[in-house]
């Protein structure tokens, strides 16, 4: 009986300690200066998971904007995926829904391209960018919502979007 209790106790400890969630949210600190990281899940006109490649993912910050671009190439199909996000250079932590932004706001903008087809968030789309960290050298956050392609009338829903960059 003692052996059985010991096995149950040991199994319980392993199960509860082996599945701890990574609490680290400092993804930007892991990047080299000038690089970004983006992940997302797309559904609708196209679907799948996207994770950028560090070698082709860049960020730059000027006096006016933060230009974050991230891409990945599927080596089996040779198709390219790309995300571009423009944010105000003076952005602070907070939630930014493009649909409720003032009509005079030029930024933020967001676009996603898979192969030769692209979708973008328009001011009328329900697309949200949540900036969780914004310092003079790093930015991190999440995004989700609907993107639209005006040429073919298709939509892509983005979920589980994350971004991090180091200037």
pLDDT per residue over 119-128, tens digit each? 999 877 799 9
Q: How many domains does the chain have?
A: 1
Q: Is residue 100 part of a domain?
A: yes
> Does 44 fall in a domain?
yes
Sign of the CA dihedral with 80 first, then 108, 38, and 68 last:
positive
pLDDT at 105 over 90: no
Dump pLDDT digits (tens) for 4-31. Answer: 343 443 344 334 444 444 444 577 888 8
Residue at 153 is within a domain: yes
Quote the pLDDT of residue 29.
Answer: 80
Which range marks the domain in which residue 118 is found? 29-166
Task: Answer yes or no: is pLDDT of 78 > 80.
Answer: no
Q: Is residue 11 part of a domain?
A: no
When pLDDT is cut at 50, 70 and 90, the band that residue 81 belongs to is very high
């Amino acid at each position: 009986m003692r052996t059985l209790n010991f096995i149950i106790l040991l199994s319980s400890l392993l199960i509860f300690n082996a599945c701890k969630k990574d609490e680290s949210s400092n993804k930007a600190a892991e990047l080299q200066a000038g690089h970004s990281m983006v992940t997302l899940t797309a559904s609708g006109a196209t679907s799948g998971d996207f994770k950028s490649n560090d070698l082709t993912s860049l960020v730059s910050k000027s006096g006016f904007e933060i230009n974050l671009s991230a891409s990945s190439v599927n080596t089996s199909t040779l198709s390219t995926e790309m995300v571009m996000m423009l944010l105000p250079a003076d952005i602070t932590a907070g939630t930014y829904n493009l649909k409720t932004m003032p009509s005079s706001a030029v930024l933020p903008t967001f676009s996603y391209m898979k192969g030769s087809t692209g979708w973008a968030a328009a001011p009328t789309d329900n697309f949200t960018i949540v900036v969780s960290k914004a310092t003079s050298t790093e930015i991190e956050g999440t995004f989700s919502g609907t993107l639209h392609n005006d040429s073919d009338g298709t939509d892509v829903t983005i979920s589980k979007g994350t971004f991090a960059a180091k200037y």
